[in-house]
Amino acid sequence: MRIEFEITKKCNDVCPSCGMGAQSLQAGRSLPDAQLDHLLAEFADVGLPSVAITGGEPFVAMRALLRFMSQARGIVEISKLTTNGIWGSRLWTGSPASSTTW
């Protein structure tokens, strides 16, 4: 069993056929730390084996993404991470700190 959740609604792209309901970097929202902590506790409670993370674009919420990945270690496997590849493009500034402004 695997649960998929959107860590952020923000996306750096504006694909006309987007089926994720993504929003701009300015308008979109990301899950706050407290809500991610609550989700992780719920996953642990039910013994969920696996989660998939999507968005929006998960890497524009880099700080929250890295924090969740670190805290999930040993609790639930992150078996899928859907991305548009921003982290491999020239648009990517490269550091978690710089991406927190997204």
Query: By C-beta, is 43 or 61 nearer to ligand SF4?
Result: 61
Q: Residue 22 interacts with ligand SF4 (CB under 6 A)?
A: yes
Q: Residue 20 interacts with ligand SF4 (CB under 6 A)?
A: yes
* CB distance 59 to 19 below 8 Å: no
Query: By C-beta, is 19 or 47 nearer to ligand SF4?
Result: 19
What does the block give as tokens for 64?
A: 């929250």
Residue 8, SS3?
Answer: strand
Cα 11 to Cα 83: distance, rounded to the nearest angstrom: 10
Work out which of 2, 15, 33, 52 binds ligand SF4, going by CB under 6 A. 15
Work out which of 39, 53, 56, 76 binds ligand SF4, going by CB under 6 A. 56
Q: At what angle do helices 62-72 and 33-46 cross, to 10 degrees?
A: 30
Q: Residue 97 interacts with ligand SF4 (CB under 6 A)?
A: no
**Which residues here bind ligand SF4, judged by CB under 6 A?**
11, 13-15, 18, 20, 22, 55-57, 84
